[in-house]
Each structure stands twice: as C-alpha cells, then as structure tokens.
Structure 1
Amino acid sequence: MKKLLLCSIAAIAVCLLLLSFNKRNAPELSQADRDFMTKAAIANMAEIQAGQLALGQGISDTVKTFGQNMVTDHTTCLTELKAIADSMQVTLPSQPDNEHAMVLQTLMQKKGHDFDRAYLMAQLKGHQQAVALFKTEWNSTTNTRLKAFTAKYLPIIQMHLQMVQSAGGMQGMKGM
C-alpha cells in the first residue's frame, strides 16, 4: 500500500514537472497577438458582409466581382484564423465592432453608383488598415503560427488594396 502511494505521488510529481516544463518552453501569446487576432477577425467579418452587400447592391460588374473576391478570400482567412485562435484558447468576436457595423449600415442605405463609390472607398480604407495591421503583427510576433498566418495573408490583402485602387480609378474616383 505504501509502495502504491509513493508511486502515485511520484507520478503526480513527474506530471506536474512536465506541465511546468511545457508551460515555460511554450511561447506565451502576447496581448498584442491576442489584439491582432481580434482585430483581424473583425476586419474579416466586415469584409465578408460588405462583399455580400456588393453582390446584392453593386451596380458595376467591377464592384460585384470585387465583392465576390472579398467574400471568398476573407472567408478562407477567417476560417484559418478561427482554427488558430481555437488551438490557442483565444475567443474571437462573433460580429464586427461598432465602427465596422456603422460602415456596413451606411452601405446598406446606398443604391446604384452611390453604393459603388461608398463601397470602394470603404474597401480602400479597410484594406489600408488591414495591411498596416498585418505588417505590424508580422514584424512583432514571436508566435510561429501567427507569423506564418500573416506571411500567408499579407500579400493577399496587399493585392486586394491594389485591386480596389484600380477599381476606384475605373469608377472615376480620383485620389485612390
């Protein structure tokens, strides 16, 4: 009985030691990494919803095509981000924040060419912010999964920015 008790205590001690060792050697997720995941999730959700609006309310083929690309690409990005967050026990928001919700609300009230212009301007601003967000995370994170995630999606977001700048020029919007 004494032997069983000693073996049990030794086994528990080894388990605690291993847990402690793994915790010290696993890179901690910084608050900046958590903030990045939250902001990236919000931006992706807003891009998906705005893209869906473009499909329904856009008048030009350029805006509709761009909207479809946003739905497709940002759904893929959000799905991958959710998997990373789940594996790191980070809870992501389930809907856009107030700032993005207000932009979406404004877009819902627009029709025709007014919608197209407002959508492209919102996309320009949103993708400029997203490029900055992903660059900052890529440069600062020590988490290998987030480093790989940002390295994968930053070029796609930069391509989106170039696309919206071109689309804005085609729509006769100066300064894009």
Structure 2
Amino acid sequence: MRKRLLSAAVMAVALSGISAPQAFAGGVSAQDEMFLMQAHQGNLAEIAAGNDAQKHATTDCVKHVGTVLVRDHSKLDADVKMLAGKLNVTLPGSPSPEQRKELAAVQAKAGSPAYDAAWLTTQDAAHRKTLALIDQELKAGKNAEVKAAARSARPVVAMHLDMVRGGTCHAAKDARMVHAGSGGHLAADTSLPAENSLATAGFLSMAGGLAAGGSAWFWLTRRRSAERR
C-alpha cells in the first residue's frame, strides 16, 4: 500500500514537470509565421535603408539615424532568424518588391537635400507599418516566443519612429535600447510576462512539482497516522 502511494506521489511530480513547459511552448499559427516572415523582410529593408543613408544622406542627423537602424534591426533580426529556425519557418531571402521599389525611389535623389526628405518620409511610413504588424501579432499570435519577440521589438521600433516622425529628423531620440549580445531583447525591459521567460517556466514547473509532491506527502502522512490508530 505504501509503495503504491509513493509511486502516485512521484508520478504527480513528474507529470507536473512535463505539462508546464508544454503549456508555455504553444503552437505556431499562420499569424505567427506571417509575422516572422514580414518582420524579417522589414528588418532587411531597414538595414538596407540605413546603410544607404550613411552613404548618401547630406545631413549628419539622417546619417546617424541610418546607423541606428542598421544597429538595431540587425539585432532584432537575430531573434527572428533564431525563432524561424527553431519553429521551421522559411524566411524570404530579401525585402519585398514594394520595399525594394521604395528604396530605389529614394536612392534616385542621392546626394541632394531631397534625398534626406524622401528618406525620412519613407522611414516614417515604414515604421508605422511595422508597429501595426507587431500589434497584430500581439493581438492574434499564438506562439508565446514569437509574441515575446514582437513585444520586445515594439519599443525599439517606436523609438525609430520618433526619430523620423513627420519626415523630420530627431537623432536625439536614440535611447540605445538594444545592446550588443542581447539577441534583440531589451536589457532594461523587466515587464515581459511569464510566456517570454524560460526561467519563469522552469520555476513554475518546479513549483507545480513541489506542490503536487507536498500534497501527496501530506496525504500519505495522514494515512500512516490513521493506520497507527
């Protein structure tokens, strides 16, 4: 009898440890796949635009914003590529035709003040679209890790929009929110929910196991006391 009770307690702990991580993993929906693909294309487009601004812009402000875009979107894209590989999502190899066309139109004005104005206006529109893409993923996405990546990217993209808002350059808006080696996640962001934290998932799994084991042990102890009487 005691052996059966102990076996039940061990099984409860094992099952709790298995079920919690699965609950955090989640599936990959069509929305999640679309977000990863379009986010990757957006990152590629921003990196290309940033590199072009460093070469052809006529003002230091626009050149600096271009540098920021390359820096941040390179790191954000590291997350996208990592998740895509993990979730078996095939990413496009280049920006969309529309994005390439927009950059070509700006490049046609290279070396003139018109270039800076066109570049800023294009980036204003592009970052508004990216924010809408992120918000759609946060609203309708299913995979916890993909949603966490979207949530982590949002303040960075919002900062970029502030730097080009209304077609006017605001280099001072650079908050340097994405740091080297972060994989695109915000070092200062401590508000991410449990679905973005493997450590939290592990802790909850362990806590669930301890709770189940404690409950089984309490029941077993009471059983023994009853038998002694």
Tell me how far 1:152 sits from its aligned partner: 0.6
Say if 2:77 is the partner of 1:66.
no
Instruction: Give CA deviations for 1:39-75 in whole Å, capped at 9, x if unaligned.
Output: 1111110000000000000010110000000000000
Q: Is the 8 A contact 2:51 2:70 kept in 1?
A: yes
TM-score normalised by the chain length of structure 1 = 0.79
CA spacing shift, 1:145–1:29, aligned 2, 3 Å: same
- Aligned counterpart, 1:110: 109
List, as ranges, runs of 4+ consecutive aligned residues in structure 1 with deviation greater than 6 Å.
none
One-letter code aligned to 1:150 = A
How many corresponding residue pairs? 149
Paired residues for 1:8-47 under 5 Å: 27-47=26-46
Whole-Å Cα distance in 1 between the matches of residues 66 and 25 of structure 2? 40
Tell me how far 1:166 sits from its aligned partner: 7.0
Whole-Å Cα distance in 2 between the matches of residues 117 and 106 of structure 1? 12
Whole-Å Cα distance in 1 between the matches of residues 98 and 75 of structure 2? 23
Q: Is the 8 A contact 1:63 1:167 kept in 2?
A: no
Instruction: Give CA deviations for 1:105-141 in whole Å, capped at 9, x if unaligned.
Output: 1122112211101100110000000011101101221
Q: Is the 8 A contact 2:84 2:90 kept in 1?
A: yes
- Aligned counterpart, 1:6: none
Tell me how far 1:27 sits from its aligned partner: 2.6
- Aligned counterpart, 1:153: 153
TM-score normalised by the chain length of structure 2 = 0.61
Instruction: Give CA deviations for 1:5-56 in whole Å, capped at 9, x if unaligned.
Output: xxxxxxxxxxxxxxxxxx9x96321111111111111111000000000000
Tell me how far 1:144 sits from its aligned partner: 1.0
Whole-Å Cα distance in 1 between the matches of residues 99 and 36 of structure 2? 16
Whole-Å Cα distance in 2 between the matches of residues 89 and 169 of structure 1? 39
Q: Name structure 2 gaps, 5 residues minimum.
A: 1-21, 171-229
CA spacing shift, 1:153–1:65, aligned 2, 3 Å: same
Whole-Å Cα distance in 2 between the matches of residues 27 and 143 of structure 1? 5
Q: Is the 8 A contact 1:36 1:133 kept in 2?
A: yes
Whole-Å Cα distance in 2 between the matches of residues 116 and 26 of structure 1? 44
- Aligned counterpart, 2:82: 83
Report which of the two has the higher share of helix: 1
What is the percentage of aligned positions where both structures have the same residue? 31
Tell me how far 1:165 sits from its aligned partner: 1.4
- Aligned counterpart, 2:95: 96
One-letter code aligned to 1:164 = V
- Aligned counterpart, 2:121: 121
Whole-Å Cα distance in 2 between the matches of residues 96 and 31 of structure 1? 20
Say if 2:116 is the partner of 1:137.
no
Whole-Å Cα distance in 2 between the matches of residues 92 and 69 of structure 1? 24
Tell me how far 1:167 sits from its aligned partner: 6.5
- Aligned counterpart, 1:16: none
Say if 2:56 is the partner of 1:57.
yes
Whole-Å Cα distance in 1 between the matches of residues 168 and 155 of structure 2? 20
Whole-Å Cα distance in 2 between the matches of residues 105 and 124 of structure 1? 16
Whole-Å Cα distance in 1 between the matches of residues 25 and 78 of structure 2? 24
Q: Is the 8 A contact 1:62 1:167 kept in 2?
A: no
Q: Name structure 1 gaps, 5 residues minimum.
A: 1-22, 171-176
